[in-house]
Amino acid sequence: MQLLPPSIFVLIILLVVTAVGVSTAIDCRNGNGGSKVAYTITVNKDSGKPGPGIFNTIQAAIDSIPPYNDEWVQVVIFPGIYKEKVSIPWEKQCIFLEGIEGRHWTSITYDGHEQTDESATFTSSPDNVVVKGITFENSFNLDFYNGEMAAVEIKRALAARIYGDKSAFYECGFLGFQDTLWDVSGRHYFNNCYIEGGVDFIWGNGQSVYEDCMINVTIGTLFPQGFQGYITAQGRQSSDEPTGFVFRRGRVFGSGQDFLGRAYGPYSRVIFHHTVFDGVVAPQGWDAWNYQGKEDQFTYAEVGCRGPGSDTIKRVKWMKKLNRPKDINKFSTSSFINQDNWLQRLPLW
């Protein structure tokens, strides 16, 4: 069986998207009367015949929002399993999706696969998108959790892909196996999220902080024979790009063993900071993949991590040491993605 890496053509997209660095996304306006949102619409798959401001599908609710909107619009989603592909187009920013009963009760699922640009259950293209309390699932590979994997070919199957700048996800879930979460470009913040997969399941060239997130390695569930996968595949292309993945606190656990990351770009950058590692972390920790000989250009680091998987004795020799406070402080949430305080202006508070 061949475990496929993310498709090569994606590199062209990433080069175009990230060449200009962090985008200059607008700030969304609050509603009238001091409200953080201009108005609210509702999605309830069991509501019967929809009416004004009430929809049976999430995509229909998004379609109702006018393009080039510059005020926060809240989409309240009632509990249920929504079997649909959902896409927020680039001209519809300032959207706040909220599953009102949390991610365990509100999920969006689909079984697209093969192409990374077509398979995602959820696609968010614009700047200024906030999501809270929703699970995004690609069920394609997950159907094979039966212990009989000999004749099964794992395929790329994305749960979500995130393009826009200033995108934040709170208490969300991302379920898949290969390429679960495509963190494409822009500044992104993931707080208290659950992310699972086995191969390259957090990948792309975003500039992102994952804070207090639970990372579930499932390589051992589908491949009990001892295959090793990869948690991250970060695609930073040059030393001038501000991109990278920073994991603060949280936990890495699961079944089997995964590398913490492999290089999806010649300047790949991933930092785990005070994270708990269960025994699922491969002893070598990191993989140069197609960039052997350029290891000195990577920024792969583990700072203050603990747990049985945090022993660095057998780690690759080229893993970076960030021992000084100034070295790690530049990867704090405020310094790395929140330079203009956009997180404080989100409509959650």
Catalytically annotated residues: 179, 200
Q: Which residues pair with 217 in a beta bridge?
A: 197, 254
User: Residue type for 257, please?
Assistant: Q
Q: How far is residue 242's CA from residue 110's CA, in Å, rounded to a whole number?
A: 33
Tokens describing residue 118: 């077509």
DSSP 203-235: EES-EEEEES-EEEE-HHHH-TTT-EEEEEEE-
Residue that the structure tokens 């010649």 belong to: 266
Do residues 155 and 4 lie in contact, with contact meaning Cβ atoms separated by under 8 Å? yes
**Closest alpha carbon to 169 in 148, 153, 192, 187:** 192
Helix/strand/coil for 34: helix
Residue 238's alpha-carbon distances to 149, 184, 201, 243, 297, in angstroms, are 39, 16, 22, 9, 9
| H or E stretch covering 16 | helix 10-18
Q: Which long-range contacts (CB under 8 A, 24 or more apart) does 220-227 make?
A: 220/254, 220/255, 220/256, 220/257, 220/280, 221/145, 221/254, 221/255, 221/256, 222/141, 222/144, 222/145, 222/149, 222/154, 222/177, 222/198, 223/149, 223/198, 223/256, 224/147, 224/256, 226/256, 227/3, 227/256
Q: Which helix (H) or strand (E) is 116 found in, with range?
A: none
SS3 88: strand
Element (H, E) at 195: strand 194-197
Q: Enter the tokens of residue 321.
A: 């040491």
Place of tokens 């614009």: 126
